[in-house]
Chain A
Amino acid sequence: MAITASEIKKFIQAAIPDATLTIEDLAGDGDHYAVHVISPAFASKSRIQQHQMVYEALGGRVGEQLHALSIKTSVPPVTPSLTIVESES
């Protein structure tokens, strides 16, 4: 019942299209993965809600088909050019 890293990636990207993600197969057994998902969609969401979005993307496979998925979520840094406030001296 193992699942491949590329399948996990596909599911997450289908549900969160603007996500950048890295995935690591921790044990090499198709059952223990660590995934880091970065998406602007996480802004203004709590950490729990962010992880729930990832779980939902995987449609009930976590805890069933997939025993262990370690999740880290982040919001991408805001492009500096958008945050620079010019001040006149």
Chain B
Amino acid sequence: MADQATLDLIQAYITENSVVLYMKGTAEMPQCGFSSIVVQLLTELEVPFKIVNVLNDPNIRNGIKKFSNWPTIPQLYIMGEFVGGCDIVKEMYQNGELQALLKSKQILAA
């Protein structure tokens, strides 16, 4: 089970960074197809983002699932808000919702 210190750390990280992707592997070398897809989409949109490689820390890997009440990874946070996993991010990208969200948060130029 995730301890409070881990949950606090997750909260601090998503508060301090506009776009955070919890993923398996790194942006350069994703270790899972779902993580890879989200990296590709963010890269294509030229969104600056921070990643957390959950494979480096079992506390974070389990903690993020509890934090978001979401059982799978990747998980995308924008301005401290949980956006979704791969399926949701992909669907939002395809219908333009993701771009609109990033513009409304002034992460992308309108």
Which residues of chain A have a CB within 8 Å of any CB of chain B? 47-48, 51-52, 55, 60, 62-64, 68-72
Smallest Cβ-Cβ distance to A72: which chain B residue? B87
Contact of A62 among B72, B83, B88, B91 (CB under 8 A): B72
Closest to A34 in B: B87
Partner of B70, one of A47, A52, A60, A70: A52
- Give the complex CA separation of A55 and B88 in angstroms: 14
A47 CA / B82 CA spacing, docked (Å): 11
Given contacts A48-B82, A48-B84, 19 further A-B contacts (CB under 8 A): A47-B84, A47-B88, A48-B88, A51-B70, A51-B84, A51-B85, A51-B88, A52-B69, A52-B70, A55-B71, A60-B71, A62-B71, A62-B72, A63-B65, A63-B72, A63-B73, A68-B34, A70-B86, A72-B87
- Residues of B in contact with A (beta carbons under 8 Å apart): 34, 65, 69-73, 82-88, 91
Q: Which residues does chain A contribute within 8 Å of B70, judged by CB atoms?
A: 48, 51-52, 55
Does A70 lie within 8 Å of B84, measured CB to CB?
Answer: no
* A51 contacts across to B, CB distance below 8 A: 70, 84-85, 87-88
Q: Cβ of B71: which chain A residues have Cβ within 8 Å of it?
A: 55, 60, 62-64
